[in-house]
Amino acid sequence: MSEQLARSTPPVVPQHTPAPVEDKAISPWKDAWRSFKKNKIALVGLSIVSFFILIAIFADLLAPYNYRDVNLSDKHISPSAEHWFGTDEFGRDILSRVIHGARISLWVGFFSVAGSVIVGSLLGIVAGYYGKWVDGIISRIFDILLAFPSILLAIAVVSVLGPSLKNALIAIAIINVPTFGRLLRSRVLSVKEEEYITAARAIGMSDTRILVHHILPNSLAPIIVQGTLAIATAIIEAAALGFLGMGAQPPTPEWGKMLADSKDFIIQAPWTVLFPGLAIMLTVLGFNLMGDGLRDALDPRMKS
């Protein structure tokens, strides 16, 4: 009887649970971040930029002294335990002024580039999408602005508006508009010929929706890369205007102005020039390294 039951009962086949299939659909931005994290040099740049951003945010807490405090009896004190970066010709603590200078330089860099991106992108998108006489007028404006050396154009703008940090920011924004405008124009010229743009036109989508929902999102990668590199350039240009006395005015602790005020004491008190110069160099280096890493991560041609 047991033999008959054994024969009639089908053998039990072990059920194997299928292995979970990994979702290979990765967001382009997540893929770019993974590529960015693999670039050690780019991470160094990100660390430097993050360091200076934190210094700028917490400048009031980190500065050991008030950057405005003047003490002529302590002028040109070399770096010591009391004044880590020494003091300047007015006895002001250089470390405190460099810390607060980070806030000013980054503020000028970010907001001037933001203005350039907004205006330049708008003009570039309109020129590339509509073409014809619109493209001709806007392109000629870009050509005129690019015909002048950037620093001379910035000096001319500040001369008209008057020397101040705000006007220096405006001047830096103006001279960088053609860079973003031409970048977006060339990008739009290639994107607007894609099939999905033709399909969007065929279903009656308005030009505004096409520009906002299709063309602009597909043009963000080069804007991000160029914007990061442009911040470094803007910091240098702000320092140059400050050095010439056309940017931040005393007692604002702008790095370029600090260099200008200390140039006569470079032999007597070299630390007054050394530390503001190092701050400019490190900040610009950080943005350049990070920009190169973003370019490698966002450009498909740079990936194997």
| Residue that is written with structure tokens 């405005």 in the block | 68
Cβ atoms 116, 178 nearer than 8 A: no
Q: How many CA atoms lie within 13 A of 174 on its CB side?
A: 21
Paired residues of 87 in beta bridges: 93
Q: What pLDDT is attached to residue 26?
A: 59
Q: What is the CATH number of domain 80-302?
A: 1.10.3720.10
Q: What pLDDT is attached to residue 301?
A: 57
CA angle 8–13–17, rounded 5-degree value: 155
Q: Assign 87 to helix, strand or coil.
A: strand
Q: What pLDDT is attached to residue 274?
A: 92
Q: pLDDT truncated to tens, each residue of the chain (304 aa)?
A: 445 544 555 555 455 555 454 445 556 667 777 877 888 898 999 999 999 999 999 999 999 988 888 888 888 889 988 889 989 888 899 999 999 999 999 999 999 999 999 999 899 888 888 878 888 899 999 999 888 888 888 999 998 988 888 899 999 999 999 999 998 888 888 877 777 777 877 787 777 777 777 777 777 888 888 888 899 999 999 998 988 888 888 888 889 888 888 888 888 889 989 999 999 999 999 999 998 888 877 765 555 4
Q: What pLDDT is attached to residue 58?
A: 93
Q: What pLDDT is attached to residue 196?
A: 74
Residues 229 and 91: their CA atoms lie apart, in Å, by 36
Paired residues of 93 in beta bridges: 87
Quote the tokens at residue 251.
């007692």
Please state, rounded to an integer, the average pLDDT across all residues of the chain: 83
Q: Where are the domains of the chain?
A: 80-302
Q: Does residue 9 come out as left (phi exceeding 0), alpha (psi in the -120 to 50 range) or beta?
A: beta
